[in-house]
């Protein structure tokens, strides 16, 4: 079973500019235009890379074994926000290539609870930084992100031990 990595990406560019690098497939799904990112590898007639099942090539170029289906947040201005899932890992190589070709400031936060990791990836002014760490769930009560050790059972009941103690104290 595939682990799905949740990606939250903010791009410092108007949505209209970002949409020029994205295409809509015949089934209505939106994805990155691979021809505009990797013109030497993907011909224009196969820009969605739907006709070839070469997961290894996609992994090497994008960082994930499947192209993400994109969901736009059209309410934010002037920046563009994308939400999407990638298979097994974030697609930092694809975002790096997007930055190289456009110069856009790109800020990505990703998390994969099943893979037990999360991280940030930042592209700005031609430089890149990437920090990955162990997954930190959100407490359902206080909303804080805490290490897994702060929970008795973060999978079934995501309440940190501090909130459990304060709830127990309030009941006394």
Contact between residue 98 and residue 92 where contact means Cβ atoms under 8 Å apart = no
Mapped onto helix, strand or coil, the DSSP state of residue 167 is helix
Both 70 and 152 in one domain: the answer is: no
Report the pLDDT averaged over residues 102-129.
Answer: 90
Percent of the chain residues topping a pLDDT of 70: 87
What is the pLDDT of the chain when averaged over all its residues? 83
Both 81 and 114 in one domain: the answer is: yes
Alpha-carbon distance 151 to 161, whole Å?
A: 6
pLDDT score, position 137:
83
Mapped onto helix, strand or coil, the DSSP state of residue 102 is helix
Query: What confidence tens digit (pLDDT) does each residue in 20-59 have?
Result: 888 887 788 888 888 898 888 888 877 666 544 567 777 8
Domain that holds residue 171: 138-172
Both 128 and 144 in one domain: the answer is: no
Both 110 and 162 in one domain: the answer is: no
Judged against a pLDDT cut of 50, whether residue 170 lies above it is answered with yes
**Chain-centroid distance, C-alpha 121:** 9
Query: What confidence tens digit (pLDDT) does each residue in 62-96 have?
Result: 888 777 888 876 666 677 888 888 877 888 999 99
Both 90 and 102 in one domain: the answer is: yes
Both 84 and 50 in one domain: the answer is: yes
Both 88 and 160 in one domain: the answer is: no
Alpha-carbon distance 55 to 22, whole Å?
A: 20
Both 142 and 170 in one domain: the answer is: yes
Mapped onto helix, strand or coil, the DSSP state of residue 60 is helix
pLDDT score, position 56:
78
CATH number at residue 124: 3.30.70.1270
First vs last Cα of the chain: how many Å apart?
Answer: 45
Both 122 and 37 in one domain: the answer is: yes
Both 124 and 167 in one domain: the answer is: no
pLDDT score, position 75:
65
Both 13 and 75 in one domain: the answer is: yes
8 membership: H or E segment, kind and range: strand 4-11
- Number of structural domains (the chain) is 2
Handedness of CA 142, 145, 149, 154 (dihedral sign): positive
Judged against a pLDDT cut of 50, whether residue 1 lies above it is answered with no
Judged against a pLDDT cut of 80, whether residue 154 lies above it is answered with no
pLDDT score, position 31:
85
Both 168 and 85 in one domain: the answer is: no
């Amino acid at each position: 079973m595939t682990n799905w990595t949740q990606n939250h990406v903010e791009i410092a560019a108007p949505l209209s500019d970002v949409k020029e690098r994205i295409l809509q497939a015949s089934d209505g799904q939106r994805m990155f235009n691979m021809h505009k990112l990797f013109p030497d590898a993907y011909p224009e007639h196969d820009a969605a890379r739907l006709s070839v099942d070469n997961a290894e090539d996609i992994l090497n170029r994008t960082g994930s074994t499947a192209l993400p289906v994109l969901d736009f947040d059209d309410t934010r201005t002037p920046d563009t926000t994308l939400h999407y899932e990638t298979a097994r890992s974030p697609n930092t190589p694809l975002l790096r290539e997007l930055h190289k070709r456009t110069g856009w400031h790109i800020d990505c936060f990703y998390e994969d609870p099943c893979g037990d990791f999360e991280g940030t990836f930042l592209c700005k002014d031609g430089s890149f930084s990437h920090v990955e760490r162990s997954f930190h769930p959100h407490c359902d009560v206080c909303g804080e992100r805490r290490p897994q050790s702060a929970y008795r059972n973060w999978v079934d009941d995501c309440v940190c031990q501090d909130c459990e103690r304060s709830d127990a104290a309030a009941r006394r």
